[in-house]
Amino acid sequence: MNSTVKSNQLIKEFKHDLSGLSVNERQVLEKLIKAARLIAPIYQKQQDPKYPGANFYPHDVEKTEIENAAKKDPSLLDPYTIVKRKNGKLISVPYHLEYRQYLLPIAKQLLEAAKITINREFGKRLELQADALLDGTYDVADIYWLSMRPYKIDIVIGPIERYDDRLFFTKCAYQAWVGVMDEVETRKAKIIKEAVFSSSRKIITPVQQAAAFDRVQLRIDKEAIFSGLIAKFMFSSASLPNDVETISKYGSEITIFENSLNSHFVSRHHPIFHAVFEKKFQQSFPIEHMQEAALLSSLVHELGRQYLQYRGAEERLRDVFPVIAEIGSAVIGIKLLGPLLLKGIITQKQLESVLVIFFCRAFDWWDKYKRDPGAASYVRGNAIALNFLLSSGALQQQGGISWPNFTKMFVALSDLAEILEKILSVGGYQDAKDFIDNYGSFGTFDLFRPKLSQVLKDSS
């Protein structure tokens, strides 16, 4: 297999404005983009949507076989090892050894960038990241990244997201992004963040809550490149790290990806909006309002995620954790907008637009899922929300055209947020499974299929 050719499908480069960057910053950016491009071939080796364990585990292995073997050898379920069969026995190989030949040229680019940057703190960050790729000290690099002062240019590179491991939601897939901060939008977003975090909020089990709200950094970036898993899913935002204990001690960083967000909005969300909402209804949502709401929606999704950093949630909920956590973040994010509306920080139209965007995103994930089962957690979570809205009467549909009642929708999503937070904070595996079984049917999406097939690539 020619992984270089294939990996091109896993690289998304965006037009980016260099006018705000110095000559030195442009040179650094170029090196980082080169490093990011080289991640795609590694991800290409890891991914395989045909298998629930992708290529992280042998394709013939049963889940129970891994669980049993991991009792003696926990490294089999380490996020940064690949599992192989050797003489009939399961063994683990650390990523930094398995992919060393691919990682060496990436580290070289990072070190070259470190050498030329005039920002010494950022240079140190790049050195630590290069080390992490080659020796597996990812936590050292993460901790430094979280503690350094925000810099105009950012790079996140390495094994990060776990969505492709549908067996255990454990193994991290490689991805990279490089972005340049949009300082104006970042300033505006920080006002919303401060307003949200400045009101104390009831936390179901405070002892279990790990989020460090005073150490949540936020940036809105114009990203130059996505590579690896993130290029496949085209995320519009991220909050890292994923490890709850690291978050608790060192905080987290939220990044909103403006280019990905805008590209999604224009090519997917806005056409979906036109397909599934009634014409007169559409007229009261001008495109500029909707586009602004798309950013606000991503922002509050990530702010919502900070409230769901409950210790032990991943261990209790195992493979269904991402379903509950993703949709939980989205609906808590919407709930957080309630007090902002009452305090005059956002307008009613902005809240309505966020609710409309929420709906459009659900259909977008459904379409992505049809092409890649790695999106399963997202689409299942969105199915839960849509079914919850329909069953509460917040959403009526007739012939694939929807008629939302925003008041009922807000109340229903607030109720849903409470249920999901309870599951994440104190619930068990069976609680989560039962809730997903009750509300997670994909049938709702089919009601809208005729309208949506005009705008989405319908694989059925």
Q: Using CB under 8 A as the criterion, which residues of the chain lie in contact with another protein when the complex forms? A: 19, 190-192, 194-195, 198-202, 338-345, 348, 351-352, 406-407, 410
As measured in angstroms, the least distance from the Cβ of 211 to another protein is 16
Helix and strand numbers, DSSP H then E, in the chain:
23, 10
In the chain, the largest separation of any two C-alpha atoms, in whole Å, equals 67
CB of 121 to another protein, least distance (A): 26
Pair type for strands 153-161 and 401-404 = unpaired
Q: Which two tokens stand for residue 241?
A: 């790290």
* Residue 39 vs 192, nearer CB to another protein: 192
The one-character DSSP state at 277 is B
- 201 or 371: whose CB is closer to another protein? 201
| CB closer to another protein out of 101 and 200 | 200
| Residue 19 three-state SS | coil
Taking the complex as a whole, how short is the minimal distance between the CB of residue 192 and another protein, in angstroms? 8
Span between the terminal Cα atoms of the chain, in Å: 28
Closer CB to another protein, 68 or 199, in the complex? 199
Q: Which is nearer to another protein, 140 or 345 (CB)?
A: 345
Measured CA to CA, the distance from residue 352 to residue 383 in angstroms comes to: 20
Query: Please, what is the minimum distance in Å from the beta carbon of residue 355 to another protein?
Result: 9
Q: Whole-number minimum distance, CB 370 to another protein, in Å?
A: 33
240 SS3 class: strand
Whether residue 236 contacts residue 256, with contact meaning beta carbons closer than 8 Å, is answered with: yes
Nearer to another protein, 88 or 344 (CB): 344
- Provide, rounded to whole angstroms, the least separation between the CB of residue 311 and another protein: 22
How many C-beta neighbours within 10 Å does residue 150 have? 12
Amino acid at 257: F
Nearest distance, CB of residue 377 and another protein, angstroms: 29
- Give, in order, the Cα–Cα distances in Å from 56 to each of 66, 85, 164, 167, 318: 12, 11, 9, 10, 17
Amino acid 441 reads S
